[in-house]
Amino acid sequence: MSRKNNPLICITLFAMTIILCGGLCQPLCAGAASNDTPEKAKATEAYVPPAFLSGAEGTVEVLAAVKKEIFKDPGLIGSHLKARLAELLKNPERLDFLAEGLSFDVENNDISYDTISISLKNALFDALNVEAAYIDIKNISFDAFALFAQGRLRVRSQREIAAHINVAEDDLNAYLKHKAEKIKVRKPYVRFEGEKLLLGGTFKYGIFTIKFDATGVFKIVENTKIHFDIKRLEVNRMRMPSNFVRKVILKINPIMDLEKFPFKLVMKTIAVSGKNLIFSSKQVIK
């Protein structure tokens, strides 16, 4: 059969024409979209302040109660900080937390540490399982009232951070499937093949199911966002022009965003090692 009369090619070209005219931004018609029921996000349990804060109101009273409790339990701040971190990361399989050089400034509502070292295994962050992470932070300070009264890890400042984060291929695929409803890409997948990265999936437009496969690299954007930079894109095994590629890139990115991580992570490098994606950071924050 000639290329001109090949029905698969004709369908692909027709669908691609529709998409290039703006359809990619709304790839599912209302009827098709109703077939996919989004998973309900698990409700986060409301924070319950420590019992010793019962009756304390406002910053002054809360911090006075914290200061009084520290005389009974000198490790109070560190243990509470670790507990809140564990809660935010959905209770990792392992969480090692070492904090040194504590300073508690009641007048300025400030808790600061000279260094904090964190090592964790299988922590869940924004639906992404982090297989392993090692984080070292120097000269970091927190809002004391927010930590105890609200259970929030509000970082006021941090001087230097070094991070090493490991995400397994299987976990990244699970994350993409979770995100599929948002980006309207069905059956998304990513594969690590040496230095070559493969990303693909399908999306629907009316009666058409468009399958795409892409090769490219991951890159860091704005310090925390991970984008997939497509070098080659095929739809139903046909190579697509650059304007089509740009639309797909805008649709699927960012693949993930670490901006809401409890500490300010400034990612500098990203690399594939075997079946793992590794983010690294060592940055002095001015």
Sign for the pseudo-dihedral over CA of 124, 126, 131, 135: negative
Predicted local confidence at residue 211, as pLDDT: 84
Domain regions of the chain by residue span = 51-161
Instruction: Give the residue from 159, 72, 47, 58 showing the smallest Cα distance to 109.
Output: 58
User: Residue 98: which of 142, 136, 144, 146 has the closest Cα?
Assistant: 136
How is 191-203 classified by DSSP, letter by letter? EEETTEEEEEEEE
Residue 5 contacts by C-beta under 8 Å, 6 or more apart in sequence?
none
Is the predicted pLDDT of residue 113 greater than 60, yes or no?
yes
Sign of the dihedral defined by the CA atoms of residues 122, 128, 134, 139, in that order: negative
What's the mean pLDDT in 171-177?
90
Q: Is the pLDDT of residue 43 over 60?
A: no
CA dist 266 and 135 (Å) reads 11
Q: How far apart are CA 132 and CA 176, in angstroms?
A: 19
Q: What is the pLDDT of residue 18?
A: 41
CA-CA distance, 117 to 210, in Å (whole number)?
A: 47
Q: Which stretches within the chain are classed as H helix?
A: 7-20, 30-33, 58-72, 76-88, 144-145, 169-183, 242-252
Q: What is each CA distance from 8 to 4, 56, 203, 237, 248, in whole angstroms?
A: 10, 70, 16, 10, 21
Cβ 172 vs Cβ 128: under 8 Å: yes
pLDDT at 197: 86
Lowest mean pLDDT among 8-22, 161-175, 220-234: 8-22
pLDDT of 37 higher than 70: no
The whole-angstrom distance between residue 50's C-alpha and the CA centroid of its chain comes to 29
What's the CA angle centered on 129, arms 126 and 131, to 5 degrees? Answer: 140
HSE on the CB side for 202, CA within 13 Å?
A: 12
pLDDT score of 269 more than 80: yes
The pTM of the full predicted model, rounded to 2 decimals, is 0.75
What does pLDDT average to over the chain?
Answer: 81
Please check the confidence at residue 2 and state whether its pLDDT lies above 60: no
Tokens of 125: 């962050």
| Least-confidence region, from 31-40, 67-76, 151-160, 178-187 | 31-40
Provide the pLDDT for residue 65. 97
Mean pLDDT (whole number) for 164-187:
85
